[in-house]
């Protein structure tokens, strides 16, 4: 057999093996978990609620308990 054909046959076999391995890995890999909601949305909502709660507490603490008339 001609050496150039032997090299060509070897390269073709290696290529077929690599393609087959890639297809095998592609179809046997576990599917990625499907996300039902964006991952950041619950965190953003929780932080927003926490900020609103802190602002309300700050307003309650800074509000005077006894009503006095402002001095002129």
Number of domains comprising the chain:
1
4-47 pLDDT, tens digit per residue, is: 899 999 999 999 999 999 999 999 988 877 766 666 667 888 88
Q: What is the pLDDT of residue 53?
A: 93
pLDDT of residue 65: 58
How many other β-carbons are positioned within 10 Å of the β-carbon of residue 59? 9
Is residue 66 domain-resident?
A: no
Rounded CA separation 15/25 (Å): 15
Let me know if residue 21 belongs to a domain: yes
Is position 33 within any domain?
no
**Residue in this structure with the two tokens 């039902």, named with its chain if needed:** 36
- Answer whether residue 69 is part of any domain: no
Range of the domain at 15: 1-28
Per-residue pLDDT, 35: 67
When pLDDT is cut at 50, 70 and 90, the band that residue 67 belongs to is low
Q: Would the pTM of this model clear 0.85, i.e. be above it?
A: no
| Alpha-carbon span 17 to 41, nearest angstrom | 44
């Amino acid at each position: 057999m001609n050496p150039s054909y032997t090299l060509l046959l070897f390269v073709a076999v290696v290529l077929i093996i690599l393609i087959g391995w890639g297809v095998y890995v592609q179809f046997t890999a576990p599917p990625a978990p499907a996300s039902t909601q964006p991952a950041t949305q619950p965190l953003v909502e929780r932080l927003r609620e926490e900020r609103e709660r802190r602002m309300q507490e700050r307003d309650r603490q800074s509000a005077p308990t006894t009503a006095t008339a402002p001095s002129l």
